[in-house]
Homo-oligomer: A and B are copies of this chain.
Amino acid sequence: MAAARGRPSLTDQRRLQTQLEIAEAAATLFADRGYDTTTVEDIASAAGISLRTFYRYCPAKEDALTPLFASSVGHLVDVLAEHPAEEPLSTALDASFGTATAERRLADAARARRLVRVLGTVPVLKMRWLAAGREMQERLAPALASRAGAPVGSLEVRLLTTAVLDAFTVTMEHWAWQDEPGELVDLMRRALSFLRLDELRAQPEPSTDR
């Protein structure tokens, strides 16, 4: 094989490239013309591939944009998952947002806001976005389970993972529609603080209410 570690075989690189081209083309077309009036044929043409090849990269039309947000959500969850349970969630949050340079974050922010606005406008895309978040639950659950001191399958951990992910989703959408963007991480902290998700621990007795 001609590929060294981390240089995945030039063909795979080309595949990633194509996947991104599809996503970019779809994002532009959806933003310009709208989702329903854009056919898969249009996206494929704009990305320089045939319709049949499009479906080799995307399971469905509504998945064309997923590469654009799946990675960011995945990264956030990764950081949360690998941080020790003693630290509050907001610390892991800072670590996640601190990796990129300021100017790169600004450029990403503009693109991200536009993307989130498109996602929020088209119901099926928004659902896809939420679904991507739900799929992260399995990866987030173990980390939060240790924080909450409850087993992974318990109602409490399910509630917690859902609450954390939805807090992020709601916050991002709120941020995407603000006139003055501000720093997303600040809003995130405000959200976690309001819902007091940092302090959540399992009740002493799960079933004894009084």
Contact = CB atoms under 8 A, between A and B. Distances in A.
A interface, how many residues as a size bin?
A: 20 to 34
A191 B169 CA distance: 20
Nearest to A135: B123
Nearest to A189: B209
Interface in A127-142: 127, 130-131
Contacts of A171: 155, 159
Counted per complex, copies of this chain come to 2
B155 A159 contact: no
Given A130-B127, A190-B207, A206-B190, A162 B158 contact: no
B193 A170 contact: no
Interface string A183-210: 0000101110111100010110011010
A51 interface: no
A171 B154 CA distance: 10
A174 interface: yes
Interface in A112-164: 123, 127, 130-131, 155-156, 158-159, 162-163
A167 interface: yes
Given A158-B174, A171-B155, A196 B194 contact: no
A166 interface: yes
B156 A170 contact: no
A163 B159 CA distance: 9
A121 to B, nearest CB: 14
Given A155-B171, A162-B169, 10 more contacts: A155-B187, A155-B190, A159-B170, A159-B191, A162-B166, A163-B163, A163-B195, A190-B209, A195-B195, A196-B196
